Structure 1
């Protein structure tokens, strides 16, 4: 929210930040900021989204931002790439491998870096086209079938010990 709020007003109003997920607990201050941003017209809070509706959310996105401190795999990043959405995400844990070299990376806490990359992803049509094409190609490297095959391979190797 800090990164998005620091972008030019015209850009924020043209492309509102959309946030989904449970409200959780102990987040009264964040919820107050969300309410304020909604009143100002640059943020939309959807709350919980059922899994069946998530592809609709990706298909409507201009960019997907994932400033995570740690990820085990990064499935939302992969889903965004498969949906043809440019990705701006953290450069830690598994995210660089999952997002691929054509995504835009930043340190998780780098507000200025996130803002800059969001502006680039929203405003550069040539970059967007290239990143979308490369992201879809990169995402094809991953599948549940490959995951299952590699998991079985590990189980078989462990069984031989």
Structure 2
């Protein structure tokens, strides 16, 4: 299993990576947003734990847009509370990449193409599933339209 732990390219208070990195989180991290199943003792006791059930298979998420929105909004809410968070999925390739890019676009004001590129440059195993890329693009457009952009 891959072991990735990197700072988010648009928010130095957010780390992104893989499930294996839970074993070596920096002491400054006090919140974890999990996009995959985690064991009941895997998230350090010092950390607030938010679990978002995002399945990395097309057609398996009953409301994909809602799940992605809840994931990025959870990260943003933790940051608004001045928490330092770790966003992860099993391998830190697909789900993490998609949510990290959407977080950059929706909550950090980064153009979506730039957000994708910056996350690609950060995560060595970057490989978001096409259905996630499409959903992120749809949500980013919707967010821009709501902001009057």
**Normalising by the residue count of structure 2, what TM-score does the alignment of the two structures yield?**
0.37
Query: Which structure is larger by alpha-carbon Rg, 1 or 2?
Result: 1
Q: Which has the higher helix share?
A: 1
Structure of greater relative contact order (alpha carbons < 8 Å, 6+ residues apart):
2
**Normalising by the residue count of structure 1, what TM-score does the alignment of the two structures yield?**
0.35
